[in-house]
Amino acid sequence: MKSYKLIAGLLLGLTVGVQAQNPAPAKPQTRPVVLTGATIHIGNGEIIQNGAIAFDKGIITQVGPAASVTSPSGAETVDVKGKHIFPGLISLNTTVGLQEIASVRATLDYREVGEINPHVRALVAYNTDSEVIPTLRGNGILLSQAVPQGGAISGSSSVFYSDGWNWEDAVLKKDDGIWLSWPPFLAGNFDNETFTYSIKRNDKRQEVIDLFKKTFSEAKAYAEVANPTPVNLRLEAMKPLFTGTANLYIRADYAKDIIESIRFAQEAGVKKIVIAGGNESYKVTSFLKENGVPVIINTTHRLPDGVDENVYLPYELPGLLHKAGVKVAITYADEWWRTRNLGFLAGTASGFSGVTSEEALQFVTRNAADIIGAGQQVGTLEKGKQASLLVSDGDILDMRSNMVQAAYIRGGKVNLDDKQKRLYEKYKEKYGKK
């Protein structure tokens, strides 16, 4: 009898678990789809009123005024009059898919021990069953870049769709770049006894820089050998940096550190450099533009770093870089649980920095795609690109009108259910009644 009760309990547990699982990934597109009547935001600054977009086999085939888009034979035509169509938002520099619950160690897989880990790949650690990922889709984020953390060289990132059975299904771009943390000139210290925070000169800075010089010198020499034997996994992973097939993402905030780290990477022979963080990047815009270095800005919904800085400086930062001719994207960095609000960062930038909404949209679409080297595939709604797009009641960058009604990833219509919506419906029954 006890065994029967045990089996019954296990079956009940499995049933409950299945009900709490994420929705199944979208099925591949089987026939052409035409969305017509909406305002289409291309992502390159262009807006099409009363437009239509057609896609088949996951690829956009037509986009333009509704009267100019023909409906292919057997197509599904969807009337979205009065709504808005946007390219899927792209979240860079995030740990979504690599960590789930901060207090549960078994759900954290975003860092390795040691300082020099270029061979560590976020690719194989990405968890498509994360409960966080569906919350991104509901706010229009259809792509995210999973980034390893920790150490001096953290490892390589990869870019994933917000939908898929496993990482092989979900990946858009494998190993798009290696992440390096430049040692800051100033370092903070928190005293646990007095609960005070102080900033002083970083005494270990030169030690880390010397380690970088040694590592990159060895990696460059290794890359020049046709068939190295034995294979060094760490140095092998760094080869794409010298051929220009992968980015070197440098985490740096202070102006001095930004300039010094870029010069270091150039002298080391790195072809493509990206600054991540860039809190003081507005001080060195001429240098960044001259060297063609884009910036991925950390969350702008924060206070400024300095007590004498304009309180609105973080909001204005994306616009300052954009107006100076620097390619810029915005991110929530390691705040994976807040990533769903990415579009609102761009909306704030538009409101405070004098850029238009269409320019701000590029901070989380076109620019982000260009930075990761996927601009030919995603980022804008243009013929020949992937049909990863969303339909919203209003402006996707405004929390008052960001109401995503439908989302398509590679042409497949995605289920927009998520845990937060399920909890809302559950407790609405309890607390919604007077």
What phi and psi, each to the nearest 5 degrees, are found at residue 271?
-85, -40
CB 175 within 8 A of CB 160: no
Whether pLDDT at 12 is above 80: no
User: Pairing state of beta strands 84-87 and 389-392?
Assistant: antiparallel
pLDDT reported for residue 382: 97
* Residue in 125, 147, 141, 148 with CA at minimum distance from that of residue 91: 141
Do 358 and 397 belong to one domain?
no
CA 368 to CA 91: how far, in whole Å? 8
Read off the pLDDT of each residue in 46-65 and give the average, rounded to a whole number.
97
SS3 content of the chain, % helix, strand, coil (to 5): 35, 25, 40
CB 29 within 8 A of CB 415: no
How many domains does the structure of the chain reveal?
Answer: 2
Q: Is the peptide bond before 230 cis (omega within 30 degrees of 0)?
A: yes
Listed residues 358, 378, 398: the one ending a domain: 378
pLDDT reported for residue 433: 61
Q: Where residue 198 falls among pLDDT bands split at 50, 70, 90? A: confident
- Mean pLDDT for all residues in the chain: 91
Q: What is the pLDDT of residues 158-197, one digit of tens each?
A: 999 999 999 999 999 999 999 999 999 877 777 777 777 7
Do 314 and 333 belong to one domain?
yes
Can you give the length of the chain in residues? Answer: 434
The helices-and-strands tally (H runs, E runs) of the chain is 13, 18
Do 78 and 118 belong to one domain?
no
pTM for the model: 0.91
Residue 176 lies in a domain: yes
Residue 424 lies in a domain: yes
Comparing 31-45, 105-119, 209-223, the range with the smallest average pLDDT is 105-119
Residue 1 lies in a domain: no
Do 256 and 266 belong to one domain?
yes
HSE at residue 17, side-chain half, CA atoms within 13 A, is 7
The helix (H) or strand (E) run that includes residue 90 is: strand 89-94
Do 310 and 421 belong to one domain?
no
Residue 169 lies in a domain: yes
Do 52 and 97 belong to one domain?
no
Residue 129 lies in a domain: yes
Q: Where residue 389 falls among pLDDT bands split at 50, 70, 90? A: very high
Do 63 and 93 belong to one domain?
no
Do 170 and 137 belong to one domain?
yes
Q: What is the DSSP letter of 67?
A: G
pLDDT reported for residue 338: 87
Is residue 76 classed as helix, strand or coil in its secondary structure?
strand
Other Cβ atoms within 10 Å of 57 Cβ, number:
13
CA 433 to CA 429: how far, in whole Å? 7
Read off the pLDDT of each residue in 88-93 and give the average, rounded to a whole number.
96
CB 348 within 8 A of CB 301: yes
Residue 10 lies in a domain: no
Residues of the chain with pLDDT > 70: what percent?
95
Domain holding 47, by residue range, is 24-88+380-434
Domain CATH number, residue 32:
2.30.40.10
Listed residues 337, 354, 378: the one ending a domain: 378
Radius of gyration of the chain (CA): 23
pLDDT reported for residue 430: 82
Do 55 and 102 belong to one domain?
no
Read off the pLDDT of each residue in 57-65 and give the average, rounded to a whole number.
97
Residue 94 lies in a domain: yes
Residue 2 lies in a domain: no
Do 230 and 317 belong to one domain?
yes
Whether pLDDT at 333 is above 50: yes
Domain CATH number, residue 284:
3.20.20.140
CB 22 within 8 A of CB 133: yes
Listed residues 349, 378, 407: the one ending a domain: 378
Do 103 and 158 belong to one domain?
yes
What phi and psi, each to the nearest 5 degrees, are found at residue 236?
-60, -40
Do 274 and 387 belong to one domain?
no
